[in-house]
Chain A
Amino acid sequence: MVAVAATAPQKRVPEPARLGAGARSSVIGFCSVAAFLILWQVAPEMGWVNGRFTSQPSEVARAAVEVFRTDNFLHHARISLTEFFLGFALALVVSVPLGVLLGNSRLARDIINPPLMALYIAPTLILLPIMTIWLGIGMASKVAVVFLGAIFPIIVNTMAGMREADAKLVRAAQSFGATRMDIFRHILLPGSLPSLLAGIRLAVGRAVLGVVVGELYVSQAGIGHQLVVYGSSMRVDRLLVYALVVSVFGYAMTTLVRVLEGRVRNWRPET
């Protein structure tokens, strides 16, 4: 097997120089955050800015402790999380099969595509007042907004993934006697998974936005509701705590999907 030895596999080896560069940029990143926090802390005390509007890292930290201890935080978080996960789960249940159908049926595409694209492009938050009229000011209207926000990116990306199926792979499978079901299971489904996950990642951002804006618009509880409460009483420190909570949640969810995407893509040449 001389030929095999000659054609070594193209394994990726991380370059040592790049590791150094990575360490350096994380040091710089850390320093810039630290410098910002110090400036933020010092500025109101020096009278450069009005602390009533900017608050301070130390105040925000104190507010965080208060919020987590006494502000019924878990109650509000549970409400917002329920809205998020309920809406998102419903969106997944509806959008994945619909995306698969649209990717495989020309007739279905012709029927559904125009309104689908219109809804995909328009921000679904414009439907928020209607949802509130239909479903009331409780959780149901927020679940609906999350559902509507999440569903379209997933449908569109699943559909695209299905349609991008490699015709050469389909033909090869057919040459081995694959049935339509085999082709769906072994080629279309795994082939469209990266695209589906990209759709889910986009949907996460829209869903978080749906929860918060839905609650900001009108609500009785939830993270967005607390933002309204502390906004009207000018508690910048507590507003920042809630802002941080939302952004950490969004970041965590997106990272989770990215990890899944990384796993799915590990068979792919880097793009």
Chain B
Amino acid sequence: MAQIEVRNLSIEYRLPKGEGTFTAVDSVSLDIEAGEFVTIVGSSGCGKSTLLLAIAGLVPIADGTLTIDGDAVEGPGPNRSVVFQEASLLPWKTVLGNVRFGLEMRRWRQGDLSKRAMQYINLVGLGSFADYHPHQLSGGMRQRVNIARALAVDPAVLLMDEPFGALDAQTREVMGDELLRIWERDRKTALFVTHDIDEAIFLADKVVVMGRNPGHIKDVIKVDLPRPRRGEMLDSDAFAEYRRRLRAHLAADMATMHLVREAV
């Protein structure tokens, strides 16, 4: 049995002013094994973030089943934590306060919270910035805090919703390396949503490609590159082949989108 099992999952949003519902995710099935690093890639509007938020328990499901370790997901739970796209840090708390906040909300009881928070702040390389407020940090540093906050509560599954989406290309690459370095320590199950093809391949054991109208899974591609991953791999023939396949999928999705527009 896979750790995360998604079966025929549909998610609907209610449109404003009672104009019915919008299907964001349509009958999706997916298995994620324990310790697997899975990325979801797709163009905007394909429901990839919605699927992740449903697994986080933050979005209600309309149909189908969603289980983690055999238990149906009915809301946020202590076995999952989320790193959001924008660093959703409390602006009035320091780096330390923000990482502690996650532990406090989880009602963490084992040992000293500050000590544990500091341990994870050090892990993401911000040890000397513990007393800074979020507005004093760069975008990359804020996301490091977010990652520290998510890891400190010791989740079985780490969910990341385009965490590096707002960062510049260089910072993004550095953060990808860092994330893998941290992930290699205990290899928790990780689900990572992105619209960046290279990022999706570089991080993943398995890339899930999603398409839109309505959101569905087009393909699941296993990535057989050795770990630990290195920057040079981006230039390898194997990487180029994965990139070509993913591009073809996404280009097809864009083309149908175009046709739909013209038909309307």
Interface residues of A, Cβ cutoff 8 Å to B: 1-4, 7-11, 166, 168-169, 171-178, 182, 186-187, 190-191, 264, 266-269
Is the CB–CB distance between B88 and A3 below 8 Å? no
Query: Cα distance A264–B133 when bound, in Å?
Result: 13
Which residues of A sit under 8 angstroms from B58, Cβ to Cβ? 171, 174-175
Is the CB–CB distance between A176 and B105 below 8 Å? yes
- Closest residue of chain B to A4, judged by CB? B125
Is the CB–CB distance between A177 and B132 below 8 Å? no
Which residues of B sit under 8 angstroms from A186, Cβ to Cβ? 90, 101, 105
Is the CB–CB distance between A177 and B135 below 8 Å? no
Is the CB–CB distance between A11 and B81 below 8 Å? no
B34, CB-defined interface residue at 8 Å:
no
CB-CB nearest 5 A-B residue pairs: A176-B105, A172-B88, A7-B138, A1-B125, A269-B135
Query: Cα distance A124–B80 when bound, in Å?
Result: 53
Which residues of A sit under 8 angstroms from B178, Cβ to Cβ? 3
User: In the complex, how many residue pairs between chain A and chain B have their CB atoms under 8 Å apart?
Assistant: 86
Which residues of B sit under 8 angstroms from A178, Cβ to Cβ? 105
Report which of B90, B171, B174 forms a contact with A169, defined as CB distance below 8 A: B90
- Closest residue of chain A to B133, judged by CB? A267
B247, CB-defined interface residue at 8 Å:
no
- Main secondary structure on B side of the interface with A: loop
Give the shortest distance, in Å, between B184 (CB) and chain A (any CB).
17
Report which of A8, A168, A174, A264 forms a contact with B76, defined as CB distance below 8 A: A174
Could you pull out 8 A-B pairs where Cβ atoms are within 8 angstroms? A3-B175, A9-B141, A168-B88, A169-B90, A176-B81, A186-B105, A190-B92, A267-B92
B254, CB-defined interface residue at 8 Å:
no
Report which of A8, A168, A268 forms a contact with B135, defined as CB distance below 8 A: A268
Is the CB–CB distance between A175 and B171 below 8 Å? no
Is the CB–CB distance between A182 and B105 below 8 Å? yes
Which residues of B sit under 8 angstroms from A171, Cβ to Cβ? 58, 84, 88
Query: Cα distance A7–B142 when bound, in Å?
Result: 11
- Closest residue of chain A to B135, judged by CB? A269
- Closest residue of chain A to B153, judged by CB? A176
